[in-house]
Amino acid sequence: MSGKSLLKIDLRGLILLLAAATALITLGNALYSSYRVQRQQLIDNTLEANRIYAAKLAASTDQFLHSAQQQLAYSAGMMSKPDGLGRAVEEVERLKSQTDSFNSVTVADATGKVIAISPETIQIVGNTLTSVNAQRALTEQKPFISQPFVSFAGNLVVFISHPIVSDTGTYLGFIGGTIYLKQKSMLHSLLGSHFYTDSSYIYVVDENRRLLYHPDANRIGEAVGPNTVIDAVIRGESGKSQVVNTASVEMLAGYAPITSAHWGIISQQPIETSLLALNTLMLNMLKGILPVGLLGMFAIWWLARLISRPLGQLADCAKNMDSPEAQGKIREVKSWYFESTQIKRALLLGISLLQSKIGKLNKDAQTDPLTGLLNRRAMAQVLETYRSEQTAFSVVVLDIDHFKRVNDTYGHDTGDKVLVQLSKIMQKHSREADSVCRVGGEEFLILLPGTSLEAAGNFAERLRLAVEQASMALIGHITISLGVAHWPDDAKELSETLKLADDRMYQAKQLGRNRVVAHAVEGTVHSCEPQ
């Protein structure tokens, strides 16, 4: 696994990103909240408008039916006088000529025999009426409005009846008017006079769910299926509701009952049509906000550039603090606000300290005098470079098994030769970018930049085999124990990573020496046995 490349972003980009995110979130929230409020308000207003319209139209229809009943009652009163039925023909003609309330008017005597009818094109004078509504009029002998029915001529008809009773209380017959629901009539004109041009429409149903009026004349007489609004209105309720019609279109409906006839009026409009104006409004609002938003983003970009420029310049200088011209470049940076001024002062002070440190470090040997490997000071510098550049690496810590016996048996000079030969083996198996360090008497450390834990374990195993197979001067063969760890996967701090590798090396010794131990997950020991 190669070293992890950590995301870097400069201050200007961070300010722009934060400002843009804040602006977009605020704008999005404002637009969404405004849309939701306006949408609900439009829906509520449309529902209320449809409820009011349905209620007014129901009241007008009720008034029309009541007026029609009054007209029949007046005619019945005129014919209740002595020899009043003799004027039946005159009375039906008067009703037809004075009002468009009825498509036809009929007068029948107490036996159901027709004695007058208008228009005269209907040739039933002298016939006895046997229809359900005629028999009802003869039997009940009181005013009523019938349920819609299909006449002999195939018309969908509503029949309004009023009894004719003499001054002495004798039942003389009845006068009735018919209203054709599929043809031109005053009721049809009343329901068809729709004053809205916003795709809303009305329809009328009776208590049997039959359509008595609909903009599509072909549907008049059709029985409507389950519908919550129709269910409510035929129960005599009025109100408003969102409902899905038979064409699966979501509608905003208002409804009201026509109490005198047990009918219901529903006024409704597609919700999509109601919200068209809102969509246009939101689009115009967005167009109005966009120029201001772009201007604001330009202003934020300019301010971000102004704020981040001195810090960016100081950061560039900080990367090359060891260069001779670094101090001069830092002094040229225009730090116009407090924080950048303090950073500038700290960098100048740091350069002075760095230069003094460099002078001192140049005097110190950075390599181990015996083996020529990097010493602890050099190792610390390498680690600091890895930290500052966020370079992932693996570390291998190794120790010679039973090295004290070598010194005790063959002397320290022989032990030193073993250390030198071991150092050469480690350098031979390491890459140019790797750092091989001596950190103690017989303890060594190898830093492997851009190397995964698994690859480092394989490297450690190859090194272990090479040492095991190598012939050392005077003493023959030696073995080593190795521990492996990875930064930043195993630990976030460098010191913790080094300690973890050291602990694993001691685990290798505890497990019998001459082996590699690496942890992929805390608590799991991976041991590579000798081949």
Is residue 441 within 8 Å of 449, Cβ to Cβ?
no
- Where does a domain end: 359, 376, 407? 359
Residue 9 pLDDT: 64
Whose CA is closest to 436, among 428, 425, 447?
447
| 267 and 353 in a common domain | no
Last residue of a domain, one of 251, 274, 297: 274
Range of the domain at 307: 277-359
Q: What is the DSSP string of 406-466?
A: HHHHH-HHHHHHHHHHHHHHHHHHS-TT-EEEE-SSSEEEEEEET--HHHHHHHHHHHHHH
Residue positions annotated with a catalytic role: 442
In total, the chain counts a number of residues equal to 531
Q: Total structural domains in the chain?
A: 3
Task: Let me know whether 286 and 165 are in one domain.
Answer: no
Q: What is the CATH number of the domain that holds 252?
A: 3.30.450.20
Question: Which residue do the tokens 């360090």 mark?
Answer: 437
**Cβ atoms of residues 82 and 60 within 8 Å:** no
Distance between CA atoms of residues 263 and 265, nearest Å: 7
Residues 308 and 449 in one domain: no
Q: Are residues 93 and 220 in the same domain?
A: yes
In a domain, 1, yes or no: no
pLDDT of residue 58: 86
Angstrom distance (rounded) from CA 432 to CA 449: 11
Q: List, in sequence order, every residue forming a beta bridge with 516; answer none if it has no partner.
A: 482, 528
pLDDT tens sequence for the chain (531 residues): 444 444 456 666 777 788 778 878 877 787 778 878 888 888 888 889 889 988 988 888 888 888 888 988 988 888 888 877 778 888 888 887 777 778 888 899 889 898 988 887 667 888 888 888 888 888 998 998 888 877 766 677 888 999 999 888 889 899 988 888 776 666 666 666 655 556 678 888 888 888 888 878 788 888 888 888 888 988 888 998 888 877 778 888 899 998 888 888 988 888 887 777 777 777 877 777 778 778 877 787 787 777 777 777 777 777 776 667 777 777 778 777 777 787 777 777 767 776 666 655 654 668 898 999 999 999 999 999 999 999 999 999 999 999 999 999 999 999 999 999 999 999 999 999 999 999 988 999 999 999 999 999 999 999 999 999 999 878 899 999 999 999 999 999 999 999 999 999 999 999 999 999 997 534 444 444 433
DSSP assignment of 170-188 equals -EEEEEEEEEESSS--HHH
The whole-number pLDDT of residue 496 equals: 95
pLDDT recorded at residue 396: 97
Which of 282, 228, 71, 230 has the alpha carbon at shortest distance from 161? 71
CA dist 331 to 11, 209, 307, 320, 350, Å?
21, 91, 18, 14, 13
Asked if residue 4 is part of any domain, the answer here is no
Contacts of 8 (CB under 8 A, 6+ apart): none
Look at residue 254 and tell me if it is in a domain.
yes
**In the prediction, which pLDDT does 508 show?**
96
DSSP one-letter code for 388: H
Q: Is residue 6 part of a domain?
A: no
Q: Are residues 432 and 466 in the same domain?
A: yes
Q: 384 and 468: one domain?
A: yes
Contact in structure between 129 and 112 (CB atoms under 8 Å): yes
User: Could you tell me which of 318, 206, 218, 323 has the C-alpha nearest to residue 265?
Assistant: 206
Position 320 in a domain: yes
- Give pTM, 2 decimals: 0.50
Q: Is 142 a domain residue?
A: yes
Residue 326 in domain:
yes
pLDDT at 186: 61
Same domain, 411 and 505: yes
Residues 256 and 283 in one domain: no
159 and 104 in one domain? yes
Same domain, 270 and 295: no
| 494 and 469 inside one domain | yes
pLDDT of residue 5: 40
Q: What is the rounded distance in angstroms from the CA atom of residue 459 to the CA atom of residue 484?
A: 10
Determine, yes or no, domain membership for 446. yes
β-pair partners for 156: 150
The domain that holds 372 is classified in CATH as 3.30.70.270
Q: What is the pLDDT of residue 526?
A: 44
- The residue out of 247, 274, 301 marking a domain boundary is 274
Do 369 and 382 share a domain, yes or no?
yes
3-state secondary structure of 88: helix
Q: How far apart are CA 386 and CA 447, in angstroms?
A: 10
- Check residue 163 and give its pLDDT: 94
d(CA 369, CA 439): 12
Give the residue ranges of DSSP H helices in 80-179: 88-98, 132-140
List CB contacts of 258: < 8 A, sequence separation 6 or more: 58, 61, 62, 65, 204, 264, 265
